[in-house]
A and B are shown apart, each in its own frame.
Chain A
Amino acid sequence: MATAPMTAGSQKNRIDWSQPFAYLVALVVVGITVAPVVYVVLNGFRSTAQINRDPSGWPAPWQWENHTGVLTDPMFWTQFTNSTLVAVATTAGVVILGVMAAFVIARYEFRGRAALFTLFTAGMMFPLTVAVLPLFTMLRGMGLLGNLLAVIIPQVAFQMSITVIILVPFLRSVPAELEDAASIDGASRFGFFRRIMLPLSGPGLVTVGVIAFVTSWNAYLLPLLVLGNPAEATLPVGVQFYSTTYSQDTAGVLAFTSLAMVPALLFFTLAQRRIVSGLTGAVKG
């Protein structure tokens, strides 16, 4: 963003109030957005007794037992591992299958190409919510309930639409001259795909990868239904289990919750630009 402030009549030596006003608005908005996060993180460092006595107080003294308690709980690490495995596998599946399909849709002329593209884009209209009950019965029939694959495969399938929509324009923008040059140099079709297309479409791949990862990391409905018990669960389901099991241990729940926030916040800080450009790129083509 490189817009100069529009100051009404700035030539006339009047004080420009718009700048402090903008800061004030920013301060209020940021205050409201981060307050719950700050509350959870801070109160994770207090004991339940302290929290009950004074719900909106400051940690005094700072307690570390809650966090050590969660971090030495093998269940937390099991769920953390499950979440990581599911997110990594989902991302890999989405990127690999998505780029292959998008490549032929973007660069080949064949009968059924438009239909194929339409089929993938139509998926934007089928949210997981609509399919989740039949999915549950299908996965039970396959004997996959409780298996991480029961989350990974449907997630890959449901991410395919947005992935193809984002990747096709990317892959299409690679000039045809490059392809001709590659084939003159004796590269096979597959060689062209691997050596030229993939490297050049890097930013697009990162974008769809980040969207797939974040979506998977935060997913709740599908894991809730197909991963039955805490030892098989991913973190969001695990947080929910923990909060109902230890509902008396408010401080412990807060510590668990704040630790569950960390990966998403870290990952997001690193990939912020990609997420935003992906979201806006998806709607701008």
Chain B
Amino acid sequence: MTAPNLTAGRATPARPDPDPAPARVRRSRRSLRDLALVWGFAAPALVVYIGFVIVPVALAAVFSFFNWNGLGPLERFIGFENYVRAFSDPVFLGALRNNVVILVLSLAIQGPLAIGIALLLNRKLRGRTLIRTLIFVPYVLSEVVAGLAFRLMLPPEGPVDGVLTSLGWSGPKPQWLADPDIAFWTLFAVLTWKYLGLAIILMLAGLQGIPEELHEAAALDGASWWQTQRRITIPLLGPTVRIWAFLSMIGSLQLFDMVWILTGGGPLNATQTMATYMVDIGNGRSQIGFGSAVAVILFLISLVIALIYQRAVLRRDMVGAVTGRG
């Protein structure tokens, strides 16, 4: 370790520091006491973080090259065989496809829905706080509790079917969770129920950041409500929408809890996701090596999407987000 820099010169000139120091950083004397304080304060978080985030992620990469059941020595090195096996396994490919379909549908359906509802609710309404609280309820419930509630509501002739009958749907209903062709769409509907509230709340928060004067100016210029929304509000909501889309995409790829509770990946693997498949083979069948390979694939897909998205879409927003310079 060297003494801290006296100047504000960057230690890494190669690329611009994404996080410049505040204008007035305390000019530290070249003293060991400063260093002791800095690293003493950072050490506990750093040790826990490296030990329980970085190390396990690195281990997943290592394990993925072995045929290993989690017990005994790591000795059966098999190169990329686990990866080859994953990409030739129809169940994994189906799980991957499910993740991608959920990702695309979430963006295409939940996004416009959330923006539309937020635009409508962004006005003076009686009981606004209550409305917002209730809309946010599904997000707060654990996925286990929510998944269980839906499992109890969706059996044949259950409450959901009862409501549909009273609405005039006579005749047989779909097997919501038991029919492989239907179960995936049921799962997507439940996921939409769970996460739409979060999207609406985020959009509403974004709408609050739009200056009122703009609306007034547009109204004075004779713009209709709809023109104002389309030309002013929605473009200014851009950063919020982009951040929400990012969270939604990563969340879609990591999906586990709700699927595990609602369908367990069934029927006939119709609702399997990469994460449920990984837990199934890694924990259920003790194939830690193969499961780790699936985890690494899942991670790499998330990473590639995140990097492309950051480069292409988020660059301006993230500069503001990470450095606090809006």
The residues of A with any CB-CB pair to B shorter than 8 Å are 1-9, 18-19, 21-23, 25-26, 29-30, 32-34, 36-37, 39-40, 43, 54-56, 93, 96-98, 100-101, 103-121, 123, 125-127, 129-138, 140, 153-154, 156-158, 160-161, 164-165, 168-169, 172-173, 176, 179, 189-190, 214, 217-218, 220-221, 225, 235-237, 239-240, 243, 250, 253-254, 257, 260-261, 264-265, 268-269, 272, 275-277, 279-280, 283-285
Identify the interface centre among B11, B150, B161: most chain A CB within 10 Å of its CB.
Answer: B11
B149 touches A284 (CB 8 A): no
Given contacts A5-B123, A36-B146, are A114 and B17 in contact (CB under 8 A)?
A: yes
Q: Which residues of B contact A1 (CB under 8 A)?
A: 122-123, 128, 204, 207-208
Q: Pick the contact of B142: A36, A220, A243, A279 (CB < 8 A).
A: A220
B44 touches A30 (CB 8 A): no
A157 touches B52 (CB 8 A): yes
Identify the interface centre among B142, B158, B162: most chain A CB within 10 Å of its CB.
Answer: B142
The residues of B with any CB-CB pair to A shorter than 8 Å are 1-2, 4-5, 8, 10-12, 17-19, 21-28, 34-35, 37-38, 41-42, 44-46, 48-49, 51-57, 59-60, 63, 70, 117, 120-125, 128, 131, 133-138, 140-146, 148-153, 157-159, 161-163, 166, 193, 196-198, 200-202, 204-209, 212, 215, 219, 224-226, 228, 239-240, 243, 250, 254, 256-257, 260-261, 275, 278-279, 282-283, 288, 291-292, 295-296, 298-299, 302-303, 306, 317, 320-326
A6 touches B215 (CB 8 A): yes
**Closest CB in chain A relative to B243 CB, distance in Å:** 4
A36 touches B42 (CB 8 A): no
Given contacts A22-B121, A261-B141, are A2 and B212 in contact (CB under 8 A)?
A: yes
- Cα-based distance from A118 to B318 in the complex (angstroms): 13
B41 touches A101 (CB 8 A): yes
A101 touches B45 (CB 8 A): yes
A100 touches B158 (CB 8 A): no
B37 touches A55 (CB 8 A): no
Q: Which residues of A contact B260 (CB under 8 A)?
A: 220-221
B141 touches A37 (CB 8 A): yes
- Cα-based distance from A18 to B4 in the complex (angstroms): 61
A135 touches B52 (CB 8 A): yes
B243 touches A126 (CB 8 A): no
- Cα-based distance from A172 to B18 in the complex (angstroms): 15
Q: Pick the contact of A214: B121, B140, B206, B317 (CB < 8 A).
A: B140
- What are the 8 closest A-B residue pairs judged by CB atoms, nearest first? A218-B142, A157-B52, A176-B24, A131-B56, A134-B59, A56-B162, A101-B45, A97-B45
